[in-house]
Amino acid sequence: MEPTAYLESLRPAGSKRSSKRDLIVNVFLRQEGHLTADDLFDLIRREDQKISRATVYRTLQWMIDAGIARKVDFGEGRFRFEHSYRHPRHFHLICKTCNHSFEFLSSDIEVLLEEVAAARNFTPGQSVLQIHGTCEACRTGRPAPAEAGATSLVFARDALRIAIATERSGLEFYTRAARVAKDARGRRVFEKLAEEEREHLATLETRYRELLQQDRQLEAHPTFLFFKGAANGLFSAGAEQLMSGVNDRQALMIGIRCERGSHRFFKRYGERFEDSEGKQIFLEFADEERAHLELLIREYRGLVERQRRTPARAAKRKTRRAPASA
Amino acid sequence: MEPTAYLESLRPAGSKRSSKRDLIVNVFLRQEGHLTADDLFDLIRREDQKISRATVYRTLQWMIDAGIARKVDFGEGRFRFEHSYRHPRHFHLICKTCNHSFEFLSSDIEVLLEEVAAARNFTPGQSVLQIHGTCEACRTGRPAPAEAGATSLVFARDALRIAIATERSGLEFYTRAARVAKDARGRRVFEKLAEEEREHLATLETRYRELLQQDRQLEAHPTFLFFKGAANGLFSAGAEQLMSGVNDRQALMIGIRCERGSHRFFKRYGERFEDSEGKQIFLEFADEERAHLELLIREYRGLVERQRRTPARAAKRKTRRAPASA
DNA sequence: CTAGGTGCAAATAATTTGCAGAGGC
DNA sequence: GCCTCTGCAAATTATTTGCACCTAG
């Protein structure tokens, strides 16, 4: 959505247009950091000498009601304001030396927060998380790479990186499982799964390259979204040693488990974000995993059906496995 | 340490005793929640009509310098103060309806915070974490169980619970491994390990019961310290199936891995807390795990040594295992 | 006796509000 | 014309400070 349409969509009911307010809102949206009311007042004064502090405060409150602005409190004894246009919610790193602040988000932390709230029978709304300390620039004396630009693009970048890492992890797992598998049918299933992961991975990597072209410096931005759960959660160490004796049906079942885990993960977390390209990426990825999952389930059912029609073979297979599983 | 000694130990250099200040400090330390300067002023006024607001503010600043008080900011446009005597650092759940706040700590979150800071080249100091929302009492209309009493006791209780959960998890693992193990020597090692865990567990449970006797209502307090890492991290699902073919040396090595993991975990996290009974419990537990670990390592070395002295047997064992591991 | 500590009142600092006039619909 | 927005100045709220006086060491 374009800025103007975005503003119109958020205008509170029963409010009138006003050139003063428009000016304040526009100047505010043009800014990047976390402004105090006074910072904004100074900026406004450069364009219109007549606007009073009271109007700036009133407009800030209006923007908060409209959802354009968020009020943040860094413990300085006054508030700061940040706009939310193309700017997902986030937590803060705050340098106590230069008073600059840096943004990040961590799904892992958000999950833990929800768990704490649930354990204490608390209905959580917004959370405030600030790490106070010293930034790299203040510690080393050398200027840090500027953290400017569209946060929502960085968010999308990180979402894609996470999806790619997950896919790579799946690919590696299936590849190793295929290498280890002794049963020819089981191995073939793993090989096919690996091939499918490879294809999906290629799609994601293409999309990543396309995203990078939207902003020359996108890769230089530090990580915004921290999210480690997705890439490792599915495959436990040592599991591959169990893969060696796996047949085709079991291999398919393993694939189903993996894809289901992946789908749930991305659906669950995608739903947590507000509208943004990053959210979109998570939900699309979840959808693709679901589609793949359904495909695997159909294959599995087909396989079971076929084995039921040739009971001799199924019985033989069962007999052969019996002593090992006892 | 007793309150008086505690205060003396923290008195800033070059400061005089004063009856007014003593009164303010004592009234402050008697309180439980998070007071505003005005709350405290009102309380003080009940005991001494002459004390002025300025003195209360000055004394609060003095207490902060002395480390007796912490200044917290719930975004209300003014500060609140909490004392730190027998009161570990923590995060807050803040009810936006009744303005009450509840405390918790999560080692898992703290670890993630450190990781984020490290990834951004930020040297972290103190962190602020607030979950704003609605408390149970405000949502249901019924009064919640009062969250009063010594937080440091609750902290110790939770530390013990975590240690116990870890020990139970270890006991369960070794018991199952012993049940599954086919090699008689391997099984015996697991049985011995299980027995040791059982003993340690009994010690911890006794200590837990002793702790409960210090405060009748200790078990009724909601969880303060959230810490899930310890109990599950060591043993992955399916691992027990790998246990079946394990011999005595391998079983010992598995025990060493587990105890080492446990020791590192508790040492690492114990070091994160400030002085308290809870910290003590973590560090003692870490020490006990280390002692056990060293014992196991000695046993392992002895075993290897013995096997080296009877090379025929070792060679035989090796030959027998060769096809399985290829 | 002298460096803090204290009370009082005034100063600051951020933000809000009352009111009369200006301006959009 | 009505209802909202705006500027200005005054009010409010939380906190700090100047200064004269007090008190412990």
* Residues B280-325: tens digit of each pLDDT: 999 999 999 999 999 999 999 999 999 888 765 545 555 444 444 4
* Under 8 Å between Cβ of B105 and B88: yes
State the Rg of chain B over Cα.
26
Parallel/antiparallel/unpaired status of strands A101-106 and B123-134: unpaired
B184 and B81 both lie in a single domain: no
Domain-located, residue A77: yes
B156 and B281 both lie in a single domain: yes
In this predicted model, which residue has the larger pLDDT, A317 or A303?
A303
Domain-located, residue A47: yes
B81 and B156 both lie in a single domain: no
Order across the sheet with A80-83: list the strands: A35-36, A80-83, A69-72
Per-residue pLDDT band at A326 (split at 50, 70, 90): very low
In this predicted model, which residue has the larger pLDDT, B149 or A224?
A224
| DSSP for residue B141 | S
Domain limits for position A227: 152-313
Per-residue pLDDT band at A321 (split at 50, 70, 90): very low
For A159-191, write each residue's pLDDT tens digit.
Answer: 999 999 999 989 988 998 898 888 999 999 999
For residue A254, the model assigns a pLDDT of: 87
Could you say which nucleotides of strand C lie within 7 A of any protein CB atom? Answer: 3-10, 13-18, 23-25
A157 and A302 both lie in a single domain: yes
For residue A63, the model assigns a pLDDT of: 94
Of the candidates B27, B52, B85, which is a domain's last residue?
B85
Q: At residue A288, does pLDDT exceed 50?
A: yes
Whole-angstrom Cα distance, residue A158 to residue A138?
A: 26
B70 and B166 both lie in a single domain: no
Q: At residue A291, does pLDDT exceed 50?
A: yes
Q: Which nucleotide comes closest to B80 if you measure CA to C1'?
A: D14
In this predicted model, which residue has the larger pLDDT, B148 or B25?
B25
Partner A contacted by B326 (CB < 8 A): no
Chain A: residue whose CA lies nearest to B237: A236
Whole-angstrom Cα distance, residue B288 to residue B294?
A: 10
Parallel/antiparallel/unpaired status of strands A225-226 and B69-72: unpaired
Burial of B236 from C-beta contacts in 10 A (0-12 / 13-18 / 19+): middle
Q: At residue A113, does pLDDT exceed 70?
A: yes
- Helices vs strands, H then E, count in chain A: 13, 7
For residue A19, the model assigns a pLDDT of: 79
Q: At residue B215, does pLDDT exceed 80?
A: yes
Query: How many Cβ atoms are within 10 Å of A101's Cβ, its own excluded?
Result: 20
Please give, rounded to a whole number of angstroms, the shortest distance from the CA of A134 to a CA of chain B.
5
Task: Tokens for B134, please give them.
Answer: 């609605």
Partner A contacted by B325 (CB < 8 A): no
Whether residue A132 and residue B136 make contact (CB cut-off 8 A), yes or no, is no
For residue A86, the model assigns a pLDDT of: 82
As a whole-number percent, the residues of chain B with pLDDT over 70 amount to: 85
Residue nearest to nucleotide D8 (CA to C1'): A52
Domain-located, residue B278: yes
Å between CA of B261 and C1' of C13: 53
Task: Tokens for B264, please give them.
Answer: 């590192």
Order across the sheet with B69-72: list the strands: B35-36, B80-83, B69-72
Domain-located, residue B286: yes
Please give, rounded to a whole number of angstroms, the shortest distance from the CA of A21 to a CA of chain B.
25
For A87-109, write each residue's pLDDT tens digit.
Answer: 889 999 999 998 899 999 999 99
Per-residue pLDDT band at A16 (split at 50, 70, 90): confident
In this predicted model, which residue has the larger pLDDT, B33 or A224?
A224
Query: What CATH number is associated with residue B60?
Result: 1.10.10.10
Q: Which nucleotide comes closest to B21 if you measure CA to C1'?
A: C5
Query: How many Cβ atoms are within 10 Å of B107's Cβ, its own excluded?
Result: 21
In this predicted model, which residue has the larger pLDDT, B1 or A135?
A135
Whole-angstrom Cα distance, residue B23 to residue B90?
A: 27
Q: At residue A232, does pLDDT exceed 50?
A: yes
Domain-located, residue B300: yes
Three-state DSSP class for A77?
Answer: coil
- Which of A61, A94, A128 is the best substitution to test chain B (most B C-beta atoms within 10 A)? A128
How many Cα atoms within 13 Å fall on the side-chain side of residue A150? 15
B182 and B62 both lie in a single domain: no
Three-state DSSP class for B243?
Answer: helix
- Please list, in sequence order, all residues whose beta carbon lies within 8 angstroms of the beta carbon of residue B311, skipping any fewer than 6 positions away: none
**Number of residues in chain A:** 326
As a whole-number percent, the residues of chain A with pLDDT over 70 amount to: 85
Å between CA of B79 and C1' of D14: 9
- Average pLDDT over chain B reads 87
In this predicted model, which residue has the larger pLDDT, A278 or B146?
A278
A80 and A160 both lie in a single domain: no
Query: What CATH number is associated with residue B197?
Result: 1.20.1260.10
Whole-angstrom Cα distance, residue B22 to residue A43?
A: 48
How many Cα atoms within 13 Å fall on the side-chain side of residue A251? 29
A194 and A54 both lie in a single domain: no
Mean pLDDT of A290-305: 94
Domain-located, residue B230: yes
For residue B236, the model assigns a pLDDT of: 53
For residue A5, the model assigns a pLDDT of: 61
Domain-located, residue B321: no
Parallel/antiparallel/unpaired status of strands B91-95 and A123-134: unpaired
Å between CA of A62 and C1' of D6: 14
A169 and A38 both lie in a single domain: no
For residue A116, the model assigns a pLDDT of: 98
B171 and B265 both lie in a single domain: yes
Domain-located, residue B273: yes
Stated pTM of the model: 0.88
Per-residue pLDDT band at A316 (split at 50, 70, 90): low
* Under 8 Å between Cβ of A57 and A21: no
A165 and A309 both lie in a single domain: yes
Task: Mean pLDDT check: name the lowest of A72-81, A126-135, B58-67, B244-253.
Answer: B244-253
Å between CA of A124 and C1' of C4: 47
Is B38 near strand D, with its CB below 7 A from some atom of it?
A: yes
Of the candidates B69, B85, B101, which is a domain's last residue?
B85
A290 and A196 both lie in a single domain: yes
Residues paired with B82 in a beta bridge: B70
Q: Which residues in chain B have Cβ-Cβ distances shorter than 8 Å to A222?
A: 119-120
Shortest CB distance from B119 goes to which of A71, A223, A237?
A223
Whole-angstrom Cα distance, residue B315 to residue A47?
A: 88
State the Rg of chain A over Cα.
26
**Among A75, B72, B29, which Cα is nearest to B40's?**
B29
For residue A3, the model assigns a pLDDT of: 59
Partner A contacted by B109 (CB < 8 A): yes
Whole-angstrom Cα distance, residue A287 to residue A270?
A: 11
What is the longest distance spanned by two Cα atoms in chain A? 92
Contacts by B81-86, CB closer than 8 A, 24 or more apart: B81/B28, B81/B34, B81/B35, B81/B36, B81/B37, B81/B40, B82/B33, B82/B34, B82/B35, B83/B28, B83/B29, B83/B31, B85/B3, B85/B6, B85/B29, B86/B150, B86/B151, B86/B152, B86/B276
Per-residue pLDDT band at A149 (split at 50, 70, 90): low
Of the candidates B68, B85, B102, which is a domain's last residue?
B85
Whether residue B120 and residue A139 make contact (CB cut-off 8 A), yes or no, is no
Strand segments, DSSP code E, in A75-167 are: 80-83, 91-95, 101-106, 123-134
For residue A143, the model assigns a pLDDT of: 77
Angle (CA) A98-B69-B156 rounded to 5° is 110
Provide the number of structural domains found in chain A: 2
Q: Which nucleotide comes closest to B49 if you measure CA to C1'?
A: C7
